[in-house]
Structure 1
Amino acid sequence: MAQISSVFGLWNTSPTRHSAVEDLQGIFTGSLIAALGLYFLASAGLLTGSTAGVAFLLHYAFGINFGLAFFLLNLPFFYLSLKRLGPAFTVKTFIAIGVTSFLTDIQSRLFQIGTIQPAWAALLGGLLLGYGLLALYRHRASLGGVGILGIYLQERFGIRAGLVQLAIDMVVLVFAFGVTSPTVVAWSVLGAVVLNLFVAINHRADRYIAL
């Protein structure tokens, strides 16, 4: 019984390796929290960076389904993930993206936000996305796109993943001026800064080494 509990993560005695069940719960809860953060941003008409930001741009500009756009935009990054970060990371990231895309699409059917002040939505959305990404990173997964690139650069060159994401997110948000107002972009920038500073401060490979 003890062996079964150890294998499935109910009683994992290894301080440096996650069990399958621990990975599954980390990926699901990280994806759930990230999807909730995206819903807060969307409820205020805000955007974020990375592939999620591009998916928001496509959604606002052309009415393309956000979940579908988010999933498809991440597909090219799987080659980098597979070649540089390994099949386990790639599979877990694929699952995380699929779960997040699905949950983001069904959020409005489960509950609805009547009104929310944009600054509050930016703060909550950014923090929730940060918590979600942190959970995924600690289980060797990500939400694809820039997250994959950030993890690779951090592990290869020691550049903080959060800072890599922040730089690219700012570029994505510049393009937001073409589909929304400067005020919305400003609040979106706040959300992106909150998200990426949270990840940069809390995610360091030398502090968390579990696989």
Structure 2
Amino acid sequence: MPSVPDPSATTAADVPSDSPVGDTPPIDAVIPHRPTEDVLGVLTGTFLASLGLYFLQTAGAVTGGTAGLALLLTHALSTPFAVLFALVNLPFFALAWWKKGWVFTVKTAICVGLISVFSLIHPQFLPLDEMPLPYAVIGGNLLMGVGLLIIFRHGASLGGFNILALILQERAGLRAGYVQMALDVAVILLSLLVLNISQVLLSALGGVILNVVLALNHRPGRYRA
């Protein structure tokens, strides 16, 4: 006896060509971000990353990369972090232009500028005289890690070592998080020149937290958009 068709079931032939189902892209299709999505993503990512840096700066901790270098320089110079962060990133823009193209370079320059701007805004709306070092290190690096992930997903970086890490991931297959971790360790070791051993050890732990977030979530082929 023939089976009775389920009236609730539909097939591809039953779906009109102008229906939402018919317009659904294949599961492996690449869906690029719209310009408005890029703008919102970059603003969100830089806000979170700069807030994490503000936590670290308030507690007297450091991190890796050019942000860590800028934080270290604030201990020796009276120049604001916002200015130092922009200056130490300048040499890496040439590398970005050469290997990643002008779109990536312009986006990265905008991100670096936004970090500098947000670093001036945070103290005005969230004044912090001090913050417990362990909380600042853990919370600050988690915020930075999430912020960097968002920035990477929208085709940009925070300059400096981020650029080098992304290029090595694309060209040599090395995970950006692990490359960044190695470079960050070198910067954190330099902080022994200006910080005590407990600050350095906790800063190193923070660097591990940050780069584990990147290594676990930013892999080639994991995301398609």
Normalised by the length of structure 1, the TM-score is 0.90
The runs of 5 or more residues in structure 2 that have no matched partner are 1-24
Matched, 1:77 2:99: no
Q: What SS class does the counterpart of residue 75 from structure 1 fall into?
A: helix
Cα distance in 2 between the residues matched to 1:168 and 1:205: 20
Cα distance in 1 between the residues matched to 2:202 and 2:154: 30
Shift of the alpha carbon at 1:204? 1.2
For residue 189 of structure 1, the aligned residue among 169, 189, 204 is 204
Shift of the alpha carbon at 1:15? 4.6
Cα distance in 1 between the residues matched to 2:197 and 2:78: 20
Counterpart code for 1:91: V
Indicate how the Cα distance of structure 1 residues 114 and 181 shifts in structure 2: closer, same or farther if over 3 A, else same: same
Shift of the alpha carbon at 1:16? 2.3
* Deviation sequence 1:132-155 (CA, Å, 0-9, x none): 100000001000000000000001
Q: Moved runs in structure 1, 4+ residues, more than 6 A?
A: none
Q: Which aligned pairs between 1:108-147 and structure 2 lie closer than 5 A?
A: 108-147=123-162
The percentage of aligned residue pairs carrying the same residue is: 44
* Deviation sequence 1:66-117 (CA, Å, 0-9, x none): 1111011111101111111111111111100000111012211111234422
| Corresponding position of 2:61 | 46
Normalised by the length of structure 2, the TM-score is 0.85
Cα distance in 2 between the residues matched to 1:184 and 1:133: 23
The runs of 5 or more residues in structure 1 that have no matched partner are 1-12
Counterpart code for 1:131: V
Over the aligned positions, Cα root-mean-square deviation in angstroms equals 1.3
Q: Which aligned pairs between 1:55-204 and structure 2 lie closer than 5 A?
A: 55-204=70-219
In the comparison of the two structures, how many residue pairs are matched? 198
